[in-house]
């Protein structure tokens, strides 16, 4: 293989790596978007501990859906600033990306159980591969092996987006048909304080 061919393949692998990790904004290292969404699901699990908060904070968080989303967005920002210390983008860009990833997270949870379960399973696979890639990098594994996993993560990223949007559209159609007379886009997207049957 010629030097130019090897160079072209190397450049292609670098491009795939950047897209798959989603950690580059205008050439500056940022946080990994897929890991960020996984972090949001982790944050949801910690929601079971809200009873440990003060009564006033509990009251406003349980009675106002918009405050819930504001707290979720704030918690997500805290999570990213604590977990990802390599983030090198500006504060404004960090907040913008946080907001965009939160919107994607909201789209991913507005779906039926099948789509939600598939989405979480794909996240689990992606994060498992990420951990394994970190191990390969620490053990000085060949770059070709790491590049293969980057391609897999890129495929998972595309799958996550497709599953999220297909699930969102299917859920929207069902909710609209079930509540056509009093349908509210705000309630559909932001949710309500109580789900039927829960």
Cβ count within 10 A of residue 176: 12
Structural domain includes residue 186: yes
Same domain, 127 and 159: yes
CB atoms under 10 Å from CB of 37, counted, come to 23
Task: Give the model confidence (pLDDT) of 30-64 as tens digits.
Answer: 556 676 677 666 666 666 666 666 787 777 777 77
Of residues 77 and 137, which shows the higher confidence score?
137
Q: Is residue 128 located within the same domain as residue 184?
A: yes
Rounded to an integer, what distance in angstroms lies between the CA atom of residue 49 and that of residue 145? Answer: 41
The answer to whether position 1 is within a domain reads: no
Residue 137 has pLDDT above 60, yes or no: yes
Q: Give the pLDDT score at 158.
A: 93
Q: How far is it, in rounded angstroms, from Cα 90 to Cα 54?
A: 33
Distance, CA of 62 to CA of 80 (rounded, Å): 24
- Domain boundary residue, one of 87, 109, 131: 109
Tell me, what DSSP letter sits at residue 182?
T
CA atoms of 154 and 171, how far apart (whole Å): 26
Residue 8 lies in a domain: no
Domain region containing 158: 111-193
Q: What is the mean pLDDT of the chain?
A: 75
| Cβ neighbours for 168, distance < 8 A, ≥ 6 positions apart | 107, 108, 110, 111
Are residues 152 and 93 both part of a single domain? Answer: no
Query: Is the confidence at residue 162, as pLDDT, over 60?
Result: yes
Q: Tell me which of 109, 143, 170 is where a domain ends.
A: 109
Domain assignment present for residue 62? The answer is: yes
pLDDT for residue 7 is more than 90: no
**7 within domain boundaries:** no
pTM listed for this prediction:
0.62
Model pLDDT for residues 66-117, shown as the tens digit of each residue: 888 888 788 778 777 766 666 677 778 878 888 888 888 888 888 888 898 9
Task: Report pLDDT for 32.
Answer: 65
Do 164 and 129 lie in one domain? The reply is yes
Total tally of structural domains belonging to the chain: 2
Residue 104 lies inside a defined structural domain of this protein: yes
Whether 84 is covered by a domain: the verdict is: yes
Last residue of a domain, one of 109, 135, 159: 109
Q: Domain for residue 121, yes or no?
A: yes
């Amino acid at each position: 293989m010629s030097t130019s061919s090897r160079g072209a393949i190397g450049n292609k692998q670098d491009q795939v790596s950047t897209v798959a990790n989603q950690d580059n904004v205008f050439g500056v290292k940022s946080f990994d978007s897929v890991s960020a969404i996984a972090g949001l699901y982790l944050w949801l699990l910690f929601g079971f501990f809200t009873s440990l908060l003060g009564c006033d904070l509990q009251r406003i968080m349980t009675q106002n859906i918009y405050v819930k989303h504001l707290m979720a967005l704030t918690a997500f920002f805290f999570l990213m600033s604590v977990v990802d210390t390599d983030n090198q983008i500006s504060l404004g860009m960090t907040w913008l990306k946080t907001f965009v990833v939160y919107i994607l997270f909201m789209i991913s949870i507005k779906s039926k159980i099948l789509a939600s379960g598939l989405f979480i399973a794909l996240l689990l696979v992606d994060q498992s591969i990420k951990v394994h890639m970190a191990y390969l990098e620490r053990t000085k594994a060949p770059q070709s092996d790491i590049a293969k996993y980057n391609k897999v993560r890129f495929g998972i990223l595309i799958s996550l987006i497709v599953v999220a949007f297909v699930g969102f559209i299917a859920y929207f159609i069902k909710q609209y048909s079930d509540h056509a007379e009093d349908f509210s886009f705000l309630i559909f997207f932001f949710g309500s304080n109580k789900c039927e049957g829960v």
